[in-house]
Amino acid sequence: MKVIAVANQKGGVGKTTTSINLAACLAERGKTVLVVDVDPQANATSGLGMPKTPGGSVCGALLGNESILDRVVQTGYDNLFLLPSENDLALAEIQVARFDDYLMRLRHAIQPLRESSSFDYVFLDCPPSIGVLMMNALAAADRVFLPVQCEYYALEGVSVITSLIEQIRQSLGETGTLSIEGVVMTMFDARTNLSEQVVAEVRKHFGDLIYDTCIPRTVRLGEAPSHGKPITIYDPVGVGARAYRQLASEFLRRQGGQEAASPAPSASDFTHM
């Protein structure tokens, strides 16, 4: 199992869109995938058509009151699971900060997921701000997937998140293997020179870490979350779906692409909504 934090402290860069749709495309290809919504805004939860149920988030596991396995639910899509978010995560950020090991709370909480070997990939959808929850997600992850919007303002935050990743890695000491899994350029508009220029500039800094696949700016990608569906369901033959399927293919190639999918968890393994 690989745990990947999808993170960028800047909002509106396609972070949650990427978490949902990359996970959905991998699930479509037979991988067993879990999305953990670590954002109190719960956009990944609503984007997958799941309700915000009081007490249904990772909050209890962060505080050590329950097992994270008790909060994993099935979505309406084969091989795709969710650990939802809801409003209590906003308060959890304050409560978690009171622990001496506040940075490691999520890392400890997801250990039962690692031991269960139920998932091929776990995506941690991070909040769009640097705080206790994002730092916990980074400390819990093996790698970081970094969506970057194709505009110059997005470039300003790239150095901040990469610096934070390095600081988290160093704080983990010998157990710290955190690094960038890849950078995906989002909201790409082929009609403008700006998108090409931003991609070229980011490539100077990240080189081969940048994925060849760029996610286009499309109306359908913006509409899909309001219908509670990944783009592969909402507009399965559209350019957005094609782009995320291509991203999933490139992602698997970079993983080696040959690993066998884990058996999907049975209905009795987790709580269901």
DSSP string, 207-266: GGGB-S---B--HHHHHGGGGT--HHHHSTTSHHHHHHHHHHHHHHHHHTS-PPPPPPPP
Q: Is 223 exposed, middle or buried (0-12, 13-18, 19+ CB in 10 A)?
A: middle
pLDDT in tens, 80-95: 999 999 988 988 888 9
Q: Do the domain assignments include residue 6?
A: yes
Alpha-helical (H) ranges within 3-100 are: 15-28, 43-47, 59-62, 88-96
pLDDT tier, 174 (very low <50, low <70, confident <90, very high otherwise): low
Q: What is the DSSP letter of 150?
A: S
Amino acid in position 86: E
Residue 202 belongs to domain spanning: 2-255
Q: Do the domain assignments include residue 203?
A: yes
Q: Do the domain assignments include residue 231?
A: yes
Q: Do the domain assignments include residue 269?
A: no
Query: Is the predicted pLDDT of residue 266 greater than 70, yes or no?
Result: no
Task: Please give the mean pLDDT across all residues of the chain.
Answer: 88
pTM: 0.90
What's the structural domain count of the chain? Answer: 1
Across 181-207, b (16+ Cβ under 10 Å) vs e yields bbbbbbbbeeeeeebeebbeebeeebe
More confident residue, 151 or 54: 54
Q: Do the domain assignments include residue 216?
A: yes
36-46: average pLDDT: 96
Structure tokens at 105: 């709370």
25-47: average pLDDT: 96
Q: Do the domain assignments include residue 262?
A: no
The predicted structure's pLDDT at residue 175: 64
Across 131-162, b (16+ Cβ under 10 Å) vs e yields ebbbbbbbbbbebbbbbbbbbeebbebbeebb
More confident residue, 77 or 151: 77
Look at strands 80-83 and 73-74 and give their pairing.
antiparallel
Q: Which CATH number goes with the domain that contains 161?
A: 3.40.50.300
CA–CA separation, 132 and 155 (whole Å): 23
Plot region of 64 (φ>0 → left; ψ -120 to 50 → alpha; else → beta):
left
Q: Do the domain assignments include residue 46?
A: yes
Q: In what order do the strands lie in the sheet with 80-83?
A: 73-74, 80-83, 33-37, 121-125, 2-6, 143-149, 179-186
Q: Do the domain assignments include residue 272?
A: no
The predicted structure's pLDDT at residue 93: 85
pLDDT in tens, 108-147: 999 999 998 899 999 999 999 889 999 999 999 999 999 9
8 Å CB contact between 146 and 183: yes
